[in-house]
Amino acid sequence: MRWLAVGLCCLLAAPASAQSWATRELCLEQAPKVHPEAFAPRTYEEIQQLAADIPNGTGRFWRVESADGAVSHLWGTMHSNAPHILDLPEAVTTEIAAARTVAIESDYTGQTRRDVFRQNAAARYILDNLTIDTVDFGIPLDMENWIRTRLAGLGWGYDAYATLRPAAIAEILLFHPCNDFHDGSFPIQDYHIQLQGALAGADLIGLEDRNAFYDRLNDPANLDLAAAIIATYGAYLDPEQSQEAYATFDALYLSGRIAEVMAWERAFFDHRYPDGEGADWLARTNAYLLAERNETFLATALPELEKGGLFMAIGAFHLPRDTGMIALLRREGYTVTRIPVPGEAP
């Protein structure tokens, strides 16, 4: 579920050998459909009731108009490379093609050789010998084993858990195992949108500095935050997965029911970690990835929004709630109106 929350470069998704449970059949060979049993022990009705309290929770596509009448657009992405996720609605592709500027969370197109060097330098990812023994994420042992298995399945090795920097581990976990099957062939939806904008002649910008995530999580002062993000995403490596859960997740996204996914996620953590530890991981993760970063996104976007013609594509989890982009834009005086697209809920 977290793969609506943040899109990063995912350079570390090396040899595409999936988590052993994340088979092609599980990931790709089921039609998006809501399966009520996927929400157990909650009922779907309970999830819908929880979702009703989340502001701006329905819809992926929004029109943003300034007080002077400048018009831009906001789209909530899913950081997936599955073909049915890459197949964008016509109204969305039309606005991408017409955009003056296309903005995604982070722009990883290299501008200089220094950019390329920093992005690929081993020191960006690997701990030095002086710090290896100082990193203890304090997460449950079963989750640590899931993460180690994930690292091994991508070619990093089972022991990479002790040698990769916190931001590197977090970034790997942000890259959903189901993306492995098309890695190197299909871009995730965010980069697909960026490419479409480039082909149409739009300017490209990132809403956050490309190094911000790494710089933040690799700072020893932020180890608790890194641990929370690793635990939040690591929880979804639980091998007790089902086709029904994946089909339901995709169906909710495609129908624009973002608040229902958020409510489902909270219910999952409350059930899986009833001592409150999971809710704490989730709260700290969201405070950074969804609230703090939204303010950064907004600050970058404001000059472009004043001009109009901006197409802004960010993870769908960034849209709802009082700290979401829709609320922040309205706070700044913009009129934000939902544009329903085919297949979405009313």
Asked if residue 9 belongs to a domain, the reply is: no
Query: What is the C-alpha separation between 255 and 249, in angstroms, rounded?
Result: 10
Q: 25 in a domain, yes or no?
A: no
Q: List, run by run, the mean pLDDT of 10-residue segments along the chain (346 residues).
A: 53 44 79 95 97 98 98 98 96 98 95 85 77 71 93 90 92 90 93 98 97 93 95 91 89 98 96 94 97 98 98 98 98 98 97
* pLDDT value of position 139: 92
Identify whether 200 is part of a domain: yes
Has residue 39 been placed in a domain?
Answer: no
Look at residue 105 and tell me if it is in a domain. yes
Q: Compute, in degrees rounded to 10, the torsion defined by CA atoms 219, 183, 294, 119.
A: 40
Whether 77 is covered by a domain: the verdict is yes
Question: pLDDT tens digits for 129-149?
Answer: 645 455 678 899 999 999 999
Domain containing residue 260: 50-109+127-338
Q: What is the pLDDT of residue 95?
A: 98
Q: Please tell me the predicted confidence (pLDDT) of residue 129.
A: 61
Burial of residue 112 (CB within 10 Å: 0-12, 13-18, 19+) is exposed
CB 52 within 8 A of CB 162: no
- Give the residue from 246, 274, 271 showing the smallest Cα distance to 261: 246
Per the CB < 8 A criterion, the answer to whether 311 and 34 are in contact is: no
Grouping H, G, I as helix, E, B as strand and the rest as coil, residue 312 is strand
Task: Determine the pLDDT at residue 238.
Answer: 87
Number of structural domains, the chain?
A: 1
3-class SS of residue 195? helix
The structure's pTM equals 0.93
The DSSP output letter for 292 is: I
Range list of H helices, the chain: 24-28, 44-51, 83-86, 90-98, 113-120, 141-153, 166-174, 189-199, 212-217, 223-234, 243-254, 258-272, 277-286, 293-307, 325-331
34 inside domain: no
Percent above pLDDT 70 for the chain: 92
